[in-house]
Amino acid sequence: MPELPEVETVRRGLLKYFPNKKITDIKIIYPKIIVGDPQEFVDSILGSKVSQIDRRGKFLLIRLSNDLTIVSHLRMEGRYSVETAGTQPHKHTEVIFDLEDGDRVFYDDTRKFGRMQLVDSGQETNEVKSIGTMGPEPTEKDLTSDYFYDRLQHSKKEIKAWLLDQNNVAGIGNIYADEVLWLSKINPLRPANSLTKEESDFLRKNIIEELAFAIKNGGSTVHSFVDASGHSGHMQDKLHAYGRAGETCERDGSTLVKIRVAQRGTTYCPTCQK
Ligand SMILES: [Zn+2]
């Protein structure tokens, strides 16, 4: 599932091709991708241009010149790509945006769980409930040390499950939850409110740094992620815990084990993650 670094990589890829070109045609091959009336979606967008692309957590906010915003969530397997004129849809292409210069923006989704919703720009926090309740972006400025510690103190959830809850911190999914807990030497089963202030600060720092590092590396290609220009990310080569069950911990040589926490596969080191 694409997490914050992967969605940010898609955003940066799309920014090179999508903006400032009139959208001349839209084809919706799988209508359930669209929240609301698909024909109204098409009619409202046709003739406008993308003016900016923002991101909030794992949501892309595609800003249009007519003050509407396409809120796009990739969910499990959603993927954008930019194709040249005349390129035929792929097997799993679900939505096509044709641009005035002939470029085609494809939205592919093998699992068909992704969604697009058209809202008035600026109304996404009111119109999309999970954006309205979303926690801060994992940046130095937005995710303050006090907020993070205070919020941890109010939950008995396992810390792994707590990190996956977008209402606590935006953008973390299964990959980076395992990674930041390994980096912070924290056992994924610990109750959130058992973390000391020192552990909380260390975890917060690792979240901010790890997600920035993953963005710099173009995200992970786990689950066949590729960016809009067809380039793959490199982050999957830099993971310490996620997907490495049975391999040795880089810190102490112990065998990494896989358990289930909150119905999600969770890999950690039983020796150094206390
Ligand atoms: Zn270890």
Q: How far is the CA of 196 from the centre of ligand 1 (A)?
A: 20
Which residues are paired to 107 by β-bridges?
80, 95
Contact 41, 72 (CB under 8 A): no
Q: How far is the CA of 182 from the centre of ligand 1 (A)?
A: 8
pLDDT of residue 3 exceeding 60? yes
For domain 145-268, say whether CATH 1.10.8.50 is its number. yes
Q: How far is the CA of 269 from the centre of ligand 1 (A)?
A: 5
Q: How far is the CA of 239 from the centre of ligand 1 (A)?
A: 14
Query: Please, what is the average pLDDT of the chain?
Result: 94
Phi, psi of 156 (to 5 degrees): -100, 0
Q: How far is the CA of 251 from the centre of ligand 1 (A)?
A: 5
pLDDT at residue number 89: 96
Q: Could you please report the per-residue DSSP string of 78-138? A: EEEEEE-TTPPP-TTEEEEEEETTS-EEEEEESS---EEEEEETT-HHHHSHHHHT----S
pLDDT at residue number 224: 46
Instruction: Round to whole Å and give the CA distance between 137 and 143.
Output: 6
| Helix-then-strand count for the chain, H and E | 8, 11
- How confident is the model over 201-214, as a mean pLDDT? 97
Q: How far is the CA of 266 from the centre of ligand 1 (A)?
A: 14
Quick one: what percent of the chain has pLDDT higher than 90? 86
Q: How far is the CA of 256 from the centre of ligand 1 (A)?
A: 7
Q: How far is the CA of 140 from the centre of ligand 1 (A)?
A: 27
pLDDT band at 229 (very low <50, low <70, confident <90, very high): low
- Do the domains 145-268 and 4-132 match in fold? no
In which region does residue 261 sit, left (phi positive, over 0), alpha (psi from -120 to 50) or beta (all else)?
beta
- How confident is the model over 42-56, as a mean pLDDT? 98
Instruction: Round to whole Å and give the CA distance between 154 and 119.
Output: 33
pLDDT of residue 57 exceeding 70? yes
pLDDT at residue number 218: 85
Catalytic site positions = 2-3, 58, 264
Q: How far is CA 79 from the centre of its chain?
A: 11
Q: How far is the CA of 267 from the centre of ligand 1 (A)?
A: 11
pLDDT at residue number 157: 98
Enumerate the domain spans of the chain. 4-132, 145-268
Q: Could you please report the per-residue DSSP string of 210-272? A: HHHHHHHTT---TTT-B-TTSPBPSGGGG-SSTT-TTSB-TTT-PBPEEEEETTEEEEE-TTT
pLDDT of residue 36 exceeding 60? yes
Q: How far is CA 184 from the centre of its chain?
A: 21
pLDDT band at 232 (very low <50, low <70, confident <90, very high): confident
Q: CATH homologous superfamily for 4-132?
A: MutM-like, N-terminal (3.20.190.10)
Instruction: Round to whole Å and give the CA distance between 152 and 150.
Output: 5
Q: How far is the CA of 273 from the centre of ligand 1 (A)?
A: 6
Condensed to tens digits (0 to 9), the pLDDT of residues 70-91 reads: 999 999 889 998 899 999 999 9
Closest CA to 103 of 162, 163, 16, 41: 16
pLDDT at residue number 225: 56
pLDDT of residue 139 exceeding 90? yes
Question: Hunting for tokens 């914050």 — which residue is that?
Answer: 4
